[in-house]
Amino acid sequence: MIRTITNADLDIIIPWYREHDFPDVREALPTLGYVFTIDDQLYAACFVYEAFDNTACWIGWMVTNPANDPKQSYTYLKTLLKKVKDLMLAKGVKMIIAPATGGRAGVLLSAGFKYGETTNLMIGAK
């Protein structure tokens, strides 16, 4: 299931970043985020910055539960990103930008994103 992130979820998700060698990111995260869950267990998350006029959004801060095996992380993140992309397009967003660094390119491509003109960005659009 894909749902928006709650404040209680942040207490679970924030330590994932530390376990993936990120510093404390709590202050940098936007208020809109989504999480992939199975039976209320959290497995993957991402956050979205939206433009005021719905012309574009940026999906980033992708992270997975460090307890996942790599195949699970790939599948959960792919499912999450595809759904978030579809949600943003349904809201009328014209362009979705996502960073394709650190091995994220493959999962973004499988979620329906395409390479943009900038080498480390992926674009999702109608």
State the pLDDT at residue 123. Answer: 58
pTM of model > 0.95 = no
State the pLDDT at residue 98. Answer: 86
The two tokens of residue 58 are 């940026």
- Residues whose CB falls within 8 Å of the CB of residue 121, separated by 6 or more in sequence, listed in order: 97, 98, 99, 100, 115
The arrangement of strands across the sheet holding 32-38 comes to: 2-4, 32-38, 41-50, 56-64, 95-99, 121-125, 114-115
How many other CB atoms sit within 10 Å of the CB of residue 36?
24
HSE (side-chain half, CA atoms, 13 Å) at 121: 12
- Decide if 48 contacts 95 (C-beta within 8 A): no
Could you tell me the mean pLDDT of each successive run of 10 residues in the chain, 126 residues long?
97 96 90 96 96 87 96 95 92 85 79 65 56
Per domain, the residue ranges of the chain are: 2-125
CATH topology of domain 2-125: Aminopeptidase (3.40.630)
State the pLDDT at residue 121. Answer: 52
Q: What share of the chain is helix, strand, coil (3-state, %, to 5)?
A: 35, 35, 35
State the pLDDT at residue 1. Answer: 95
The CA-based dihedral angle spanning residues 105, 60, 115, 84, taken in that order and rounded to the nearest 10 degrees: 100
